[in-house]
Amino acid sequence: MAMPLHDPGSLMTLDEWIALPEDNSYRYELQEGVLLVSPRPTPRHQQAAYRLARQLDEQLPSGWDFLLDVEVVVRAEHPAIVRAPDLVVTKAGAADNRLVASDVMLAVEIISPGSRNVDLHLKPFEYADAGIPHYWLVDLDPPAPSITVFHLGAPDDGYVEAPATTGQLVTTLPLALCIDIPALVAPRS
């Protein structure tokens, strides 16, 4: 007889989250103890994440690495928050399975249908509160794909948001990087 892993009338703990069986058919996140289940990203979304990862892979200095769709424990204390950014930049070898927020230097979210408000408003607050120094929000929708860059400001001020960039993103924070944004969605030549 199967036993429930969690009492549906209460908030899920981090230990209950960790005990969930592996399931790659959906994307799971934990938002203040509430289990969120969403469909896997669309092919366009996945392709953009892969192409961004390739560009980062060519430019990241030794000792740094990227991970795609990895779980990040944003807040371990109850009610727990676990997110699965589309891409993170972290020190090489930071974790085998799941990261904690202090392992993440840059979290990247690509806006999906149905995630715009969460990616634009809630996740920047959560990531800043957890001390993740940099957050990029990738918008693939017309008129042109863009990346909005956020970085931690003064203590307790949260993120400072730069205007959305189209074309090329050239930055020195968190590292010296040049991202060809249109290449994230361009047809193969």
User: For 86-131, what is each residue's pLDDT tens digit?
Assistant: 999 999 888 777 899 999 999 999 999 888 999 999 999 999 999 9
Helix (H) or strand (E) holding 110: strand 104-110
Per-residue confidence (pLDDT) for residue 57, from 0 to 100: 96
- Could you say which residues of the chain have pLDDT below 50? 1-4
Report strand pairing: 159-161 vs 34-39.
unpaired
Per-residue confidence (pLDDT) for residue 47, from 0 to 100: 97
* Domain 41-184 top-level CATH class: alpha beta
Residue 75: which residues within 8 A CB-CB, separation 6 or more?
A: 81, 101, 126, 129, 130
Q: State pLDDT tens for residues 133-142.
A: 999 999 999 8
Residue among 75, 65, 123, 127 at smallest CA distance from 96: 65
